[in-house]
Structure 1
Amino acid sequence: MAAASVTVVLWASAFVAIREAGGHFSPGALALGRLSVGALALLVLWAVRGEGLPPRAAWPGIAASGVLWFGLYMVALNWGEQKVDAGTSAMVVNIGPVLIALLGGWLLKEGFPPKLMAGMAVSFAGAVVVGISMSSGGGSSVLGIVLCLLAAATYASGVVSQKPALRHASALQATTFGCLVGAVLCLPFAGQLVSQVAKAPASASLNIVYLGLFPTALGFTTWAYALSRTTAGKMGATTYAVPALVVVMAWMTLGEVPGWLTLAGGALCLGGVAVSRRR
């Protein structure tokens, strides 16, 4: 629970950092910068700890999660949030935990515990309330909706792919090499990253460094540690706390004062997580 809590807080902070950096970096460049910083930090830690290469049996899951979650998900999410408002993207991307529970129950044979399903329903309702309350009311781009759906699908598929790999590899090994795979996949955006770093203010570049070190390197490692000790469905449900924390962080750092409907939706998200985590 401690590791999962660290992940949730760091991933919530990532939404604020992405919003600030997104005005200066394209989706692919932002993903490559974040993944490059994260992979470098993880490789240093991996070398210091001397954990060695992951066993052969872990590589299919590591490669799949690297491509789907570290690579495609980050680019799709960055791009989608440039095409639709924050409320719409929040509602669509939050299909991800539902897909994790369904895929985990089916492919990983985790089953469909009633409390988990009930908690997911409550949290998803909360995410919809938060999304509606934060929506700008304008028309949403069809491309943006498709990209957010792609982000939700690749997020869920990446988590379900990573779970079997953690039976053979440590959390650090799975995260380090998954992040490295994602960074390699994003290398075609290297030219954009170099040119945009030269033009962007220092604060935007520091946001990329923050995203790489904390939400990526640390947050994904604590996620893998927690995932290796519980089911994919329960871990997916835990991330429903993210929208509630994003509301609070945006309030504190960006001056975006939430309305009562937003706060009520955030409370529903947290309540659903509490239900889903009950034994």
Structure 2
Amino acid sequence: MNQNATLTRRALPVAAIIATVLMWASSFVLIRWSAGELSPGPLALLRLVAGAVTLSVLLLIVRRGRLSLPSRSALGLTALYGVIWFALYTLVFNLAGHYIDAGTIAMVVNLAPIMVGIGAVIFFKESFSPRLFTGMVVSLCGIGLISVAGSTGQLALAGLGIALIAAFLYAGGMLIQKLALRHTDPLTATWLACAAGTVVLLPFLGATVEEVQTASTPVIVGAIYMGIGPTALGFWFWGYAMNHFPTGKVAASTLAVPAVVVLMSWLTLDEVPPLLGIVGGAVTLTGVAIAQLRRPVRQVSPAR
């Protein structure tokens, strides 16, 4: 019985990572698929409303109706990362889906961990390691190859630029989240951030009502799913995995997202990035992997 319980405890964090990767990958495909029926603002608002409702239910269940709000300064940080990550990033992310394929967007956006590493050096005074520098150089070479694909007409350069802006917003949200999580738990922070992002996107309410009336049911269901799955459950599962595995190991799992996106978009949308874009994406992700590598800690044998 104890052995089964131990196996279950070990399997659950792995299952959480796999589920998160699949859900986050599916959002890239769904955004590309929805681009013909929902514009970026309404799609983002539908997603965040669904996410905020789901997170509210989760919070009531997990906290049993008792909510502990962070301090005023922490509340401001949480709202700020919600505006940047949940609102602006989602909006720009959706816009990129109108220009380039889902796989290319995923490869460019996954440059964010490099940006987070650089931001940590600038804002948190962390050391600029040779590993981070090497990863940055390799990733920039990969982005260069993807850009060449755009300059030859294989990809829309506007879409690449928008996806790169999304990566910057993603990284900025992550850095501010790191500060916010010093004062509150992941579930509360995600709920507050999603709520803040929803409020910022309320100017799109009128357009959302209009577009929902003409959009197909599968597209609307897909938008709601993105709020329930990738936004609410995805971030919750991610936090659960972070509490059971080293940060670097969990973060490295996101490198699988672009590959899953390419496979999903090929099977469902019949689209794949151009060959040069795939090569550039592989080089970019290699650079991100290099930057995230951690040297194994040597265990010192006790003196005998």
- Shorter chain as denominator, the TM-score bin is 0.7 to 0.9
Residue 120 of structure 2: aligned partner: 104
**Retained in 2: the 8 A contact 1:123–1:240?**
no
CA distance in 1, matches of 2:120, 2:18: 21
Residue 172 of structure 1: aligned partner: 187
Residue 237 of structure 2: aligned partner: 222
Residue 97 of structure 2: aligned partner: 81
Please state how far the C-alpha of 1:217 moved relative to its aligned partner.
0.7
Residue 182 of structure 1: aligned partner: 197
CA distance in 1, matches of 2:144, 2:26: 20
- Say if 2:42 is the partner of 1:29: yes
SS at match of 1:169: coil
TM normalised by structure 2 equals 0.75
Matched residue type, 1:36:
V
Please state how far the C-alpha of 1:227 moved relative to its aligned partner.
6.1
SS at match of 2:219: helix
Please state how far the C-alpha of 1:131 moved relative to its aligned partner.
6.8
SS at match of 2:270: coil
Moved more, 165-174 or 221-230: 221-230
Please state how far the C-alpha of 1:105 moved relative to its aligned partner.
2.1
Residue 64 of structure 1: aligned partner: 80
**Retained in 2: the 8 A contact 1:30–1:193?**
yes
2:218 alignment partner, one of 187, 203, 206: 203
Structure 2 unaligned blocks of 5 or more: 1-12, 296-304
SS at match of 2:271: coil
SS at match of 2:30: helix
TM normalised by structure 1 equals 0.81
Matched residue type, 1:208:
A
**Retained in 1: the 8 A contact 2:108–2:281?**
no
Please state how far the C-alpha of 1:106 moved relative to its aligned partner.
2.0
Please state how far the C-alpha of 1:161 moved relative to its aligned partner.
0.2
Residue 7 of structure 1: aligned partner: 20
**Retained in 2: the 8 A contact 1:123–1:270?**
yes
1:255 alignment partner, one of 260, 270, 283: 270
Please state how far the C-alpha of 1:8 moved relative to its aligned partner.
3.3
Please state how far the C-alpha of 1:245 moved relative to its aligned partner.
2.1
CA pair 147-169 structure 1, distance change in 2 beyond 3 A: same
- Please give the root-mean-square deviation of Cα atoms over the aligned residues, in Å: 3.4
**Retained in 2: the 8 A contact 1:7–1:215?**
yes
- Say if 2:197 is the partner of 1:160: no
The C-alpha deviation readout for 1:223-269, integer Å capped at 9, x for no partner, is 445567766x8877654433222111112222335666565556545
Matched residue type, 1:162:
Q
Matched residue type, 2:227:
G
Please state how far the C-alpha of 1:15 moved relative to its aligned partner.
0.6
SS at match of 1:23: coil
Matched residue type, 1:200:
A
CA distance in 1, matches of 2:87, 2:74: 18
1:39 alignment partner, one of 47, 52, 65: 52
Please state how far the C-alpha of 1:110 moved relative to its aligned partner.
3.4
Residue 5 of structure 2: aligned partner: none
CA pair 112-9 structure 1, distance change in 2 beyond 3 A: farther
CA distance in 1, matches of 2:206, 2:178: 34
Structure 1 unaligned blocks of 5 or more: none
Moved more, 32-41 or 56-65: 56-65
**Retained in 2: the 8 A contact 1:91–1:128?**
no
Moved more, 128-137 or 10-19: 128-137
Matched residue type, 2:259:
A
CA distance in 2, matches of 1:138, 1:272: 23
Moved more, 50-59 or 221-230: 221-230
SS at match of 1:85: coil
Moved more, 167-176 or 103-112: 103-112
